[in-house]
């Protein structure tokens, strides 16, 4: 049985150079190939224009290469665009392009499905099939950036790892993808424009603190006491708030990056005055800000969104208590592209 070829973008540039030199090719070829496969809009080796045909044949015999295929594009009435991507093995993920007056954000996935089963999330209804490779994560950004230029006439300004999957359960590939997005050999985007969101994996937040990436970190909080958080986020049973607060402070002490607490407002569950006060107490324990998020209903799940007036009162209470807080309105919910709605539907 023929051995499966490795994707060429699984290699670091020095590894690519070593493999080419083993074939008798000069070292500078690796930089030429690297530029084409990471920075240019190609999907096959045959499209590379500045290397010999013999080398193209060598690449085709030794490596695989191909970007995900965009198989579905839906545009919301508010301008949000959801893209379905088919991967080389036939699996399916989704990414979202979110335009506002001041920025254009790409929301990208890190896994096919998710293993955490958060009670309010459509992705949580899926099983985790596999982690994405770093180049599959990068490709979502690359393709959404191309779409942004085509539709809105300007490139992406921000990236959030908030799509399908838990980024910190795909730690190495997420970090490598962010480095390639940042690097001049990739997209050259500042790491301060990137936010990685986690449901809260304490030991991996500590690992982030040690590795000191430059991107921003967000914690999907959604309840400010362990009893309630256990009910909607199973991960909290093994990663409780006390441990998370300690890990987040460790991350801040080593990176100086303020934490964002994400808090989806669920009607009659986490939107009372008591909940607001508990959130104030949590937010005071970590250099942080709070994003309050409008819930987007998911068929079959028993939650509804908080009334707008109550959500505003909740936000005002945080601000009055000197907690930086904003109320984020839902975007793309008419095409199931809003927070918590990505379900990998073909």
Q: Which residues are catalytic?
A: 94, 339
Nearest Cα to 176, choosing from 43, 11, 5?
A: 11
Pull the structure tokens for residue 48: 């590379």
Residues 250, 214: contact at Cβ < 8 Å? no
In the chain, the DSSP E strands lie at: 6-7, 63-64, 69-75, 81-86, 92-99, 104-107, 111-112, 130-131, 158-161, 194-198, 216-220, 259-265, 288-294, 325-328
204 φ/ψ angles, rounded to the nearest 5 degrees: -80, -30
- How far apart (Å, rounded) are the C-alpha atoms in residues 198 and 250? 16
Q: What are phi and psi of 85, to 5 degrees?
A: -115, 125
> What is the Cα–Cα distance from 142 to 196, expressed in whole angstroms?
17
Contact 31, 59 (CB under 8 A): no
Query: Do 25 and 17 touch, CB atoms closer than 8 A?
Result: no
- The residues near 224 (Cβ < 8 Å, ≥ 6 apart) are 241, 263, 270, 275, 278, 279, 281, 282
If we measure between CA atoms, which residue out of 248, 321, 235, 319 comes closest to residue 285? 248
Nearest partner of 115 among 123, 104, 105, 107, judged by Cα: 123
- Residue 80 token pair: 């949000």
């Amino acid at each position: 049985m023929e051995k499966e070829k490795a994707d060429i973008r699984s290699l670091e540039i020095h590894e690519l150079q070593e493999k080419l030199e083993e074939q008798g090719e000069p070292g500078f070829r690796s930089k030429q190939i690297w530029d084409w496969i990471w920075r240019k809009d190609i999907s096959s080796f045959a499209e590379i224009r500045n290397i010999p045909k013999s080398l193209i044949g060598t690449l085709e015999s030794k490596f695989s290469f191909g970007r995900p295929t965009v198989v579905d594009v839906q545009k919301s009435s508010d301008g949000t665009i959801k893209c379905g991507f088919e991967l080389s093995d036939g699996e399916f993920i989704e990414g979202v392009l979110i335009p506002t007056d001041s920025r254009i954000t790409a929301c990208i996935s890190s896994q096919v499905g998710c293993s955490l089963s958060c009670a309010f999330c459509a992705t949580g209804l899926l099983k985790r099939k596999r982690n994405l490779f770093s180049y599959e994560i990068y490709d979502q950004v690359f393709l959404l950036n191309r779409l942004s230029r085509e539709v809105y006439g300007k490139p992406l300004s921000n990236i959030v790892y908030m799509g399908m999957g838990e980024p910190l359960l795909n730690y190495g590939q997420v970090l490598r993808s962010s480095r390639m997005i940042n690097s001049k050999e990739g997209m050259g985007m500042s790491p301060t424009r990137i936010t990685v969101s986690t449901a809260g994996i304490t030991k991996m937040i500590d690992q982030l603190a040690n590795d000191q990436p430059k991107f921003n970190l967000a914690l999907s909080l959604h309840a400010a006491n362990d009893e309630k958080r256990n009910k909607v986020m199973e991960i909290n049973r093994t990663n409780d708030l006390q441990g998370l607060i300690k890990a987040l402070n460790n991350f801040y002490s080593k990176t100086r990056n303020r934490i964002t607490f994400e808090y989806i407002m669920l009607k009659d569950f986490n939107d009372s005055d008591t909940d607001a006060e508990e959130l104030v107490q949590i937010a005071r324990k970590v250099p942080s800000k709070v994003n309050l998020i409008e819930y987007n209903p998911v068929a079959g799940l028993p939650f509804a969104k908080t009334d707008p007036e109550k959500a505003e009162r909740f936000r005002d209470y945080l601000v009055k208590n000197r907690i930086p807080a904003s109320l984020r309105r839902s975007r793309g919910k008419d095409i199931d592209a809003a927070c918590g709605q990505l379900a990998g539907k073909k």
